[in-house]
């Protein structure tokens, strides 16, 4: 599971942000189908920090090409889908 999370963080440019470990924490504590990734503003903090570096840090070209607005929107939606998938798989 840690490996998949790390690959996800590299794809989206989250691997080297200050809140990188927070990504692991909110995904590990996630309940499938629940809107719980931002219960205490964690996801807001991650997105705010990541939007400043994703153009250079993201490994996926399709992520780098996103505008800041689309990056924030897609990251939030995609992280929820990723967390659901991971919790179902593990």
Residues near 65 by Cβ (< 8 Å), separated by ≥ 6? none
Write out pLDDT tens, residues 37-82: 999 999 999 999 999 999 999 999 999 999 999 999 999 999 999 9
pLDDT computed for residue 61 by the predictor: 98
Q: How far apart are CA 57 and CA 27, in angstroms?
A: 21
Mean pLDDT of 3-22: 97
Q: How far apart are CA 15 and CA 38, in angstroms?
A: 19
Q: What is the Cβ-side half-sphere exposure of residue 14, based on CA atoms within 13 angstroms?
A: 24
Q: What letter does residue 31 receive in the DSSP assignment? A: -
What's the whole-model pTM score?
Answer: 0.94
Distance from the first to the final alpha carbon of the chain: 7
Write out pLDDT tens, residues 20-41: 999 999 999 999 999 999 999 9
């Amino acid at each position: 599971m840690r490996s998949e999370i790390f690959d996800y963080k590299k794809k989206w440019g989250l691997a080297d942000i200050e809140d990188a470990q927070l990504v692991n924490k909110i995904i590990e504590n996630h309940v499938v189908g629940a809107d719980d990734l931002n219960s205490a503003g964690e996801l807001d903090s991650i997105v705010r920090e990541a939007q400043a570096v994703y153009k250079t840090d993201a490994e996926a070209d399709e992520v780098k090409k996103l505008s800041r607005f689309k990056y924030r929107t897609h990251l939030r939606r995609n992280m929820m889908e990723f967390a659901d998938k991971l919790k179902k798989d593990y």
